[in-house]
Amino acid sequence: MKPWLLTFALVALAKDPLATRIAHSDPSKYRKISGVHAGPGELHFAGMFDASTFSTNFIFLHRGVIPPGGGIGHHYHNHMEEMFVILDGEAEFTIDGRTSVLQGPAGAPCRMGRSHAIYNPGTKPVEWMNIAVGSIKGKYDASDLGDDRVGAAKDAKPVFIRMQLDRKLLRPGAGGVQYRRALTPEVFYTNWSYVDHLLVPVGGATVAHRHEGVEEFYYVMAGTGTAKVGAETAAIAKGDAVPVFLNETHSIQNTGSEPLELMVVGVARQKWAIDTVEVK
- Which regions of the chain carry the CATH code 2.60.120.10? 20-164, 167-278
The dihedral built from the CA positions of residue 13, 55, 64 and 70, taken in this order, carries a sign that is: positive
pLDDT per residue as tens digits for the range 42-56: 999 999 999 999 999
Instruction: Give the DSSP H or E segment for 277.
Output: strand 277-278
**Homologous superfamily assigned to 20-164:** Jelly Rolls (2.60.120.10)
Give the pLDDT score at 271: 83
Which of 70, 80, 82, 110 lies closest to 94, judged by CA?
A: 110
Side chain identity, residue 181? R
**Please, are residues 54 and 132 in contact by the beta-carbon 8 Å criterion?**
no
Give the pLDDT score at 145: 98
**Please, are residues 184 and 221 in contact by the beta-carbon 8 Å criterion?**
no
56-to-79, 133, 166, 197, 251 alpha-carbon distances in Å: 15, 9, 29, 21, 21
pLDDT per residue as tens digits for the range 62-109: 999 999 999 999 999 999 999 999 999 999 999 999 999 999 999 999
Which of 198, 231, 189, 190 lies closest to 217, judged by CA?
A: 198
Domain boundaries 167-278, corresponding CATH code: 2.60.120.10
* pTM score, whole prediction: 0.92
Cis peptide before 105 (omega within 30 of 0): yes
Quote the CA–CA distance of 124 and 126 in Å, as a whole number. 6
pLDDT per residue as tens digits for the range 205-243: 999 999 999 999 999 999 999 999 999 999 999 999 999
Give the pLDDT score at 276: 66
Quote the CA–CA distance of 243 and 73 in Å, as a whole number. 29
